[in-house]
Amino acid sequence: MSPIDPRLQEALDGERDPGELPMDQREAYDRLIAATQVLTAAPQLSVAARVMAEIQQNPAPALAQGPMRRVMRWLGRPRAVTLRLRPVWTLALAAGLATIILLLWGPGDGLTPGRAEGIANFVGHFPGARSVEVVGSFNDWSRGVLHLNDDDGDGIWHAKAVLPAGQHEYMFVVDGERWVPDPLAGRYVDDGFGAGQQNALLIVRPAAVQP
Amino acid sequence: MVNNGAPDVEVVARVLGGDGEAFGILIRRYEPGLLRFATRMLGNPDAAADAVAESLVRAYRHLAQCRDPVRLRSWLYRITGNRCRSHLARRHTNDISLSEAPPLADGSDAWAELERSEQVALVERALAALPAEKREAFVLKHVEGMSYEEMAAVTGARIPTLKMRVHRAREALLAALEEVVR
């Protein structure tokens, strides 16, 4: 094995035009380049499924963040909660909640749903946010249509809207750029984009059957 | 909702924000190169797949420690290079055996012009015969197309050292190729 001429090394390092090389070195250059091109063929393998399966068995990666942020993330993550209630208590609870809602947002809100419509209440806790709006299947995911308000500056944002009765998917858009599923929604569905993101799910009951 | 063409920094932020599925985007983006690199280093596709899978899981778990996500590619190659070195160390040799030399997926036109399959095997044999550090330098430079600066970030070696390793690897390969021409 003999040393390669420095000019050939320079050409292989991209520091010299290979066209300037003498004929014998040009041949050596072409031979080495052809050899490296052979080696660039990618193996017909994939470990993606294996890696993702292993990742899914583990929680999110260890984050370099404080305990408070971890607590907030834990609080904000949807979790299944099983509640066992006797039917009679369920009815009583529903009636109680309906009464509270009527007292808080009943007459005087200016919203008059039709027979096949209902009133949706959107509430989110976003302290420090400059703006919060709702986008969803009911407004073609359009921005600038339904804004939440935080008149007293306590970080709790509200909005109400008359929506067609039925099931709707939605997300909050915070400060015009951060899309967040409603942490209080209780129900979520995959957004269908394949990245594991979820939309919050809202069920609007027709006003005619609302208590 | 991370778009598949999103910059690494954005995807990393989503993963660190709890969107573990977004890590799939990074896998799809870097898996082919990492597998090629590990296969050339270890000479065995199965061992390479193990090394890359372990590296990617490790990268996921320690993603918050990637201080500069703009250079995510270098960071992933560094982890994979370390796994390959550990694998070679367990085998008590830096050389990969000829019987383990990987079959290539296809031959390029350029190679077809040069010679036939015997010479393909010859290149692999010459590469396999190099010490691991020279093989690594050559593969990063000529197969993965890295600059010496990026190679330094991947290997931790100084640029003059890397240049010397690449030069020596070229000499060995060229000598092996000329043996056939004669």
Q: Report DSSP letters for B132-166, one per residue.
A: HHHHHHHIIIIIS---HHHHHHHH---HHHHHHHH
Kindly report, residue by residue over A40-87, the tens digit of the pLDDT. Answer: 877 788 999 999 998 887 655 545 445 555 666 667 666 666 667 778
Tell me, what's the ipTM?
Answer: 0.80
Six token digits for residue A43 = 């193996």
User: Are B79 and B58 contacting, i.e. CB atoms less than 8 angstroms apart?
Assistant: yes
Six token digits for residue A182 = 């409603």
User: Are A173 and A143 contacting, i.e. CB atoms less than 8 angstroms apart?
Assistant: yes
In this structure, is residue B127 part of a structural domain? Answer: yes
Whole-number Å distance between alpha carbons of A57 and A110: 49
In this structure, is residue B3 part of a structural domain? Answer: no
Among A113, B176, B169, A81, CA closest to A121: A113
pLDDT at B68: 83
* Number of domains chain B is built from: 1
In this structure, is residue B22 part of a structural domain? Answer: yes
CB contact under 8 A, B64 and A63: yes
Structural domain including B75 reads: 8-181
In this structure, is residue B58 part of a structural domain? Answer: yes
Closest CB to A64 among B53, B65, B139:
B65
Chain B contact for A209, CB < 8 A?
no
User: Are B134 and B165 contacting, i.e. CB atoms less than 8 angstroms apart?
Assistant: yes
Whole-number Å distance between alpha carbons of A159 and A146: 8
Cα–chain center distance at A71: 19
Chain B contact for A49, CB < 8 A?
no
3-state secondary structure of A25: helix
In this structure, is residue B2 part of a structural domain? Answer: no
Kindly report, residue by residue over B132-146, the tens digit of the pLDDT. Answer: 999 999 999 999 999
Cα–chain center distance at A183: 12
Kindly report, residue by residue over A175-190, the tens digit of the pLDDT. Answer: 887 888 888 887 888 7
In this structure, is residue B144 part of a structural domain? Answer: yes
Task: Give the angle B165-B48-B114 at the CA atoms, nearest 5°.
Answer: 60
3-state secondary structure of B23: helix
Q: What domains are there in chain A, each with its CATH number?
A: 6-39 (no CATH), 87-209 (2.60.40.10)
Site from B3, B44, B174 to mutate, A interface, most A CB atoms within 10 angstroms: B174
Element (H, E) at B49: helix B45-61
Give the mean pLDDT of A195-204: 79
The overall pTM is greater than 0.95: no
CB contact under 8 A, B171 and A195: no
Strand pairing report for A178-180 and A166-174: antiparallel
Whole-number Å distance between alpha carbons of A29 and A10: 11
pLDDT at B143: 93
Whole-number Å distance between alpha carbons of A67 and A76: 14
In this structure, is residue B1 part of a structural domain? Answer: no
Q: Would you write out chain B's pLDDT as a tens digit for each of its 182 residues?
A: 556 778 999 999 999 888 888 999 999 999 999 999 999 999 888 999 999 999 999 899 888 878 788 899 999 999 999 999 888 877 655 455 544 444 444 545 555 555 556 666 778 888 888 899 999 999 999 999 999 999 999 998 999 999 999 999 999 888 887 775 55
Strand pairing report for A198-204 and A188-190: antiparallel
> Higher-confidence residue: A88 or A209?
A88
Six token digits for residue B95 = 């050389």
Beta bridge partners of A134: A146, A172
Give the mean pLDDT of A160-180: 87
3-state secondary structure of A43: coil
Kindly report, residue by residue over B162-181, the tens digit of the pLDDT. Answer: 999 999 999 988 888 777 55
3-state secondary structure of A122: strand
- Per DSSP (E only), the strands in chain A are 117-125, 132-136, 146-147, 156-164, 166-174, 178-180, 188-190, 198-204
In this structure, is residue B161 part of a structural domain? Answer: yes
Among B134, B130, B110, CA closest to B120: B110
Q: Which residues of A touch B24 (CB under 8 A)?
A: 48, 52, 195
Give me the half-sphere count of Cα atoms (radius 13 Å) on the Cβ side of residue A162: 10
> Average pLDDT over chain A, rounded to whole?
80
Q: How far is A118 from chain B (nearest CA, A)?
A: 29
Domain containing residue B77: CATH number: 1.10.1740.10
User: Are A26 and B168 contacting, i.e. CB atoms less than 8 angstroms apart?
Assistant: no
Q: Which residues of B touch A77 (CB under 8 A)?
A: 18
pLDDT at A15 over 60: yes
